[in-house]
Structure 1
């Protein structure tokens, strides 16, 4: 039923009606976001009914419970996705969000799964990506419904479960089984509205070798770093041993290293208690791989330091050296030979996300995000040649083409107008390096929650969303949803 205060004679506008309703639900929006953050929805091995593991399934059930409490019809689609629906007739307007998150990693000042509020900021993994925006969109649906304002169409909020892997298997499974929405938005990017996303290549670089004989020199025993390919690694370590004077050499090398404050060295005893060596730890700054300049890659720091050491030459040290040669020079891919840029979408970015070097094998997981007008064919050819020259195996496991919608497209203009009117800002559409669900569904655009001029904090330690921004996002989503629910 329409609220009593929504009186046409008082001159209430749609914007006023919806904004006031959102204001009434501010505390509930924050508490609900905290409720979802409390579920550590990290990927695990799947099972029947929970294809992406029990933690994600539990979080999906929780958000569907929230949606039911808000008055929507909900369905759990075999653990691959969930839906919250309202209305009937006309076009199906879609909202695309995801419940899964990346691992928290190191370097947090606040518990990553508690939803701590400090100085107007709501901290927690998923607060920005994508649980806070998901809650904002659910309450946007609620206030449009509660307002009693007339609408022509109906809405389906699709909650995905496998966005962070990049494979988007949950959403793709749903779209094969169910009717696809006419179009809509995904609150998993930036305002004012995203009209294009860079292409993304993800690949493994690997090598195997014979287990080396015992050597008298300093030997690299192990290298580990990173958690996921789309997260700039904030921590990496290596174990070395063999040389009697290894400790002195390491400390001396650290003193001459330009980033010595990022390196720590300590004695290491193997888990069996039999072997002794030295542990080299590198500390960087985690972040989202689409904006690697906001982070500092700990694997690159570690590899650069290892390159300074007089390591015994065998499989492990050679592989580490090859990875440093290919991917160790920052985030533009200049050493690899793929650096490029265009006016529309900016520079190509490269991120060395994960590195594992063991006794007889090594594997690096790497990501390239390339500009809209760059030639994927040229990038792939250059990559293959470089890996062949280093005699390492290349396995491209994800190839996601760029997406582009003209600025003048009706959906982009509609969402842009709503943002400008609600946020009282005149900014224009943007292009991102990130990859959203809009790649898997037609006629969708990523839409907030990051505002112009703000740093992208997704995947970083101490991820947060400002409470004021969360509420403003909910107001924008409510206005956008109402507008889309009345298109012909």
Structure 2
């Protein structure tokens, strides 16, 4: 049977786009302050989850909501299950948007909104691919299960809960990265450095705040400082103005006598590629590091300055590279300091590490460097080992062949620092929906997805699902 997948997508483009726009209007950021038993990650993620599952019910699929943590949309029957994993939660919108991040805008062939490329747009492409197969009543020998998550951008608590109650698919993919395929992912661990103690008597760090998530390069940072005199405040302002001229950042300096507020604006980016962003927090720390702060404040600032642009962990003493998986990367994502806080003074360091090293080796290494600043360390809730599916696995071979057939371009395996739901399965990969040469706006302001890519990906997913499950 020969099927014109592009034509099938063409007849559904308007419906797909309307469904996507409605999904993008949901602010599905995690909010623990509003978490309840009915909304384990806050009202936004569960609203996104229910909305996506409602599409499945509308279109006649078998649907299950697993206690508002996650859910799935099923089609077909068989002894084996092909799993497709998408997620409805998004990282915080942050600053710097030219449009409302939760009111999608279509402009110049792109759809702008938080979640358009990560991961609501690609998830909608995969869902419509399933819908095409169902609409055409194509016979399958395997069950196809689209698993919908709601906590991928944070702790993956959704999948922990889901797999306690549901069987894992036998193999599958996540539409949450790029084509032609991602069949390997680096390990992923966050380590928090905590700083206890008091300030000095002269320069007092009242507060330092930066960052929205561990896996985002912080685009803004702000510090409030008490300095010894108005004269020193004036000199600090002049020094900051010189600093701004020398560095790729913008900022403001405001003050009332001896209390000053310094803000820095850099550029947000995905924490898996920290070198593509401009970390506002470490730039601010570099400026402050020359001033005589004391105790915990000094340790906090000096540590933040030490890791400035240390994208590969060289200054931290944990640099490592594997021939296949590449270099370790480090993103400093969350910075919190409050005067006289007993526990809240911390910096999060998110590492994406290749095989050959480990979270324990990394933690031991940073204890020898910023540990000298009287920091104590704590691992985050998630430590994921490196993941790899061999290139000769039939799953990888089939998905690459589908990509080549649709694009005319040769596909090859690729390993990334980003973490996707593809690693949930032993035979799991990430597959699209971004094409080679795309502009990466994930976790950034003005996130978008090319409409042409959205529709091309839908056709590729439909063909791939059919070949894998027929």
TM over 0.5: yes
The aligned residue for residue 384 of structure 2 is: 400
The aligned residue for residue 59 of structure 1 is: 48
- Matching of residue 302 in structure 1 with residue 284 in structure 2: yes
- Matching of residue 86 in structure 1 with residue 70 in structure 2: no
Deviation, structure 1 residue 221: 1.8
State the SS of the aligned residue for 1:428: coil
- Matching of residue 240 in structure 1 with residue 240 in structure 2: no
Question: What is the distance in 1 between the residues matched to 2:260 and 2:62?
Answer: 58
Conservation of the 8 A alpha-carbon contact between 2:389 and 2:428: no
- Matching of residue 428 in structure 1 with residue 416 in structure 2: no
Q: 1:357 pairs with 337, 348, 363, which one?
A: 337
RMSD of aligned C-alpha atoms?
A: 1.8
Deviation, structure 1 residue 375: 5.1
Deviation, structure 1 residue 312: 4.1
The aligned residue for residue 298 of structure 2 is: 317
Larger Rg: 1
Conservation of the 8 A alpha-carbon contact between 2:186 and 2:418: yes
Conservation of the 8 A alpha-carbon contact between 1:218 and 1:246: no
The aligned residue for residue 441 of structure 1 is: 425
Q: 2:328 pairs with 343, 348, 368, which one?
A: 348
Deviations 1:343-365 (A, max 9, x none): 32222111110101111241111
Q: 1:455 pairs with 419, 439, 443, which one?
A: 439
> What's the TM-score, normalizing by structure 1?
0.90
- Matching of residue 332 in structure 1 with residue 309 in structure 2: no
State the aligned residue count: 462
> What's the TM-score, normalizing by structure 2?
0.94
Deviation, structure 1 residue 260: 4.9
Conservation of the 8 A alpha-carbon contact between 2:269 and 2:277: yes
The aligned residue for residue 284 of structure 1 is: 266
Deviation, structure 1 residue 376: 4.8
Deviation, structure 1 residue 442: 2.8
Further displaced range: 260-269 or 246-255: 260-269
State the SS of the aligned residue for 1:372: coil
1:116-195 to structure 2, matched below 5 A, reads 116-165=105-154, 167-195=155-183
Deviation, structure 1 residue 439: 2.4
Question: What is the distance in 2 between the residues matched to 1:81 and 1:255?
Answer: 49
Q: 2:400 pairs with 399, 410, 416, which one?
A: 416
- Matching of residue 478 in structure 1 with residue 462 in structure 2: yes
The aligned residue for residue 5 of structure 1 is: none
State the SS of the aligned residue for 2:401: helix
Gaps of 5+ in 1: 1-7, 270-274
- Matching of residue 368 in structure 1 with residue 337 in structure 2: no
Q: 2:36 pairs with 44, 47, 59, which one?
A: 47
Question: What is the distance in 2 between the residues matched to 1:324 and 1:141?
Answer: 49
The aligned residue for residue 467 of structure 1 is: 451
The aligned residue for residue 21 of structure 1 is: 8
Deviation, structure 1 residue 263: 4.2
State the SS of the aligned residue for 1:194: coil
